[in-house]
Amino acid sequence: MLEQEENFMIPNVFKEVIDLGDGREISIETGKLAKQAHGSVVVQSGETMLLCTVVSNYDAADVDFLPLTVDYREKFAAAGRYPGGFFKREARPSTEEILVMRIVDRVLRPLFPKDYHAETQVMIQLMSLDKEVMPDALAGLAASAAIQLSDIPFETPISEVRVGRINGEFIINPSLSQLDQSDIDMVIGASEDSVMMVEGEMSEISEEEMVEAIKVAHEAIKVQIEAQKRLVAQVGAKETRAYEPEAEDESVLKKVKAFAYDKCYEIAKSASSKSDRGLAFSELKDALKAEYTEEELEEVGGLVSKYFSKIQKEAVRNLVLEEGIRLDGRKTTEVRPIWCEVDYLPSTHGSSIFTRGETQALATVTLGTSREANMIDNPSLEGEERFYLHYNFPPFSTGEARPLRGTSRREIGHGNLAQRALKRMVPADCPYTVRIVSEVLESNGSSSMATVCAGTMAMMDAGVQMKKPVSGIAMGLISDGERYAVLSDILGDEDHLGDMDFKVTGTEDGITACQMDIKIKGLSYEILVNALQQAKEGRMHILGKLTETIAAPNTDVKAHAPKMVTAKLPNDLIGAFIGPGGKVIQELQKETGTTIVINEDPVTGEGIVEILGTDQSGIDAVLAKIDSLTFKPEVGSVYEMKVTKILDFGAVVEYVEAPGNDTLIHISELAWERTNNVTDVVNVGDTIDVKYLGFDPKTKREKVSRKAILPKPEGWQPRPPRENNNNRGRDNRGRDNRGRDNRSRDDRRPRDDNKED
């Protein structure tokens, strides 16, 4: 009995290893952890370990979609750290965690059966962290492997990898330090035969280079998929569970198509606005339902609505493929009308409006010091962002009233895409922390790309010296397997009914960011290249509209915006500049109306002083204070000095060009003639020129002289030096007699204490 219990306690572990080809490996293991989940794996590379579990209810939820939740969390214990803040527990997901959830969800969701509606949860946890292995590149592999080990219906295994490029050489799953040197940072998700998702940022690469990076990533993904298959074979594949499919009725489908197809085709061809088109489709749907009795609608009403949407989609797609006409009447390569404006908001540091068709974004820019940097404090990533972008998508932008529940995952994802599109065009020496906020005021097709365009103009309006302006465009693809049409500047409806949604941003010289969701299998790279080339033409058209509005960054910030100046301060002077308890710097900020921030240069240890203020005279006053602290006079140079104090033996004088730096000019250095009183030559408030003679080893002070720059009086003779003898002008009395006679202590007359005064 004891032997049986011991055997039961020993887990039967299955493991597969993926060789990355450069000494690194990824292992996939199952059988040890979370065995009550429907599928669970531990994926490990280096010391980074992810635990992924998947569970799906056996009963369908009462909804007409897949209620899938992909959750990714990083445990601080994985990095040997405590959560920051007062509440020492992981709470809501960070922005970075949400972005990982999105890239995994976008690949998984299309591969579940369309009629599978059971509540499904994929949970991925970072359990151990290796600083050289980025865990987000392993999340897609972990999710797919866990699903493959379950009985959940799923079309095909997938994986995701990150690809970078250093000195022209592609690297799969580069480390964080390697990414700093890379001109590409892309995450690609794919099945064995199809690329399904691409997202990333680049340093102005060409369309051909982007496709090459995708190909390299896809080959690595195929290797990881083979490893998943071997692992399933080791464990033993589970039979896919049975589930209740959606009801179908061929007779209802035929009736709906006969009634609605031609009418949908004509509405789609009418080149109407979004609201008019929506109203026309809604009225047609009502007319279709009127063909059925109330009893029939109770029985097949759901199917009627479902088939109507299907027929509507089919009609719109066929219109594009057959006649090259789109819902709003445009040609496939045509971009909607654009109008732009900058400097719209009078109080912001920079602002712009970008309107393209029925999509509108209002962007603002705020300039600040390093104190306003966005702090990142995650187990896998720590640091700060001196440039960041926030994207808001209120319900009124689509003419709807929806509950307001905080920032959505979609808003975080779209904002991150726009931020990545712009950030490499912000120069490294930009002294400001730059925050862009995009308010989407209207939306009918790619508000994220409108955000990129509005953000570009707002930064140039604010005087941020961008390297180059950036524009962005959202593209679509419709294909029936034989024919295809690439659509420039897609509408919201075209996004929904198309086979690919891809967004591309860039300058005139190359791509800076992209996001693609590909919904069809086996998309050829030839079609992808053609689509990217058409996107480039659209980007250039939009870029021309931006530069017509504002051709280059303003040479300076606005009058009401803060000016930023940086200065360096030796490490040993930082304390003097700050003062005890911060007294000096606080008083200086109050007097000058500036904000002063001091950071330490990590390399040299120098103090980097940031001075932010709207009044140039205040900034100049702070710079003068720094100059006075760092002022070092040169031997032999003449300086203008102001008398601040009179002493018996000289005057205290202050360097006019370095207030606060003072020294003593000795009375003997005021003039060639003998000076009896200091005030015979100078008085408090006088300004005089003096020569700096350097450090005087006798007085151990800096020595300055007025007489050194004056002409010698005629006949002036230097005072003769004193005789250099031991008695110094006295008689030969020794130290012990000191002018007294040579009587010994015993010969001295005793003191008469009673002697009268």
Task: For 360-414, write each residue's pLDDT tens digit.
Answer: 999 999 999 888 889 888 888 888 999 999 999 999 998 889 888 889 999 999 9
Report the pLDDT averaged over residues 561-585: 87
Band (85; pLDDT cuts 50, 70, 90): confident
Looking up tokens 């993904």 gives 221
Q: Of 281-290, 312-321, 653-662, where does mean pLDDT reach its minimum?
A: 653-662
Q: Is the model more confident about 654 or about 347? A: 347
Tokens of 427: 């120069």
Alpha-carbon dihedral angle through residues 350, 354, 360, 364, given to the nearest 10 degrees: -10
pLDDT score recorded for residue 5: 54
**Residue 153 · residue 241 · CB < 8 Å:** yes
Q: Is the model more confident about 219 or about 21? A: 219
Coil, strand or helix: which one is 326?
coil
pLDDT score recorded for residue 93: 92
Tokens of 298: 């109770």
Binding site residue list for Mg(2+):
495, 501
Report the pLDDT averaged over residues 90-94: 88
Q: Please give the Cα distance from 420 to 543 (Å, whole number).
A: 17
Report the pLDDT averaged over residues 79-105: 90
Alpha-carbon dihedral angle through residues 357, 320, 493, 514, given to the nearest 10 degrees: -80
Looking up tokens 């797609």 gives 317
Q: Please give the Cα distance from 706 to 689 (Å, whole number).
A: 6
**pLDDT at position 188 over 80:** yes
b/e sequence 58-75, b meaning 16+ C-beta within 10 Å: eebeeeeebebebbbbbb
Band (737; pLDDT cuts 50, 70, 90): very low
Beta-carbon neighbour count of residue 194 at 10 Å? 16
Binding site residue list:
495, 501
pLDDT score recorded for residue 545: 96
b/e sequence 602-627, b meaning 16+ C-beta within 10 Å: eeeeebbbbbbbeeeebbebbebbbb
**pLDDT at position 723 over 70:** no
pLDDT score recorded for residue 248: 87
Q: What is the 3-state secondary structure (H, E, C) of 351-417?
A: EEEEEECCEEEEEEEEEECHHHCEEEECCCCEEEECEEEEEECCHHHHCCCCCCCCCCHHHHHHHHH
**pLDDT tens-digit readout, 638-684:** 988 899 999 988 999 888 887 777 888 888 888 888 888 988 888 99
pLDDT score recorded for residue 3: 53
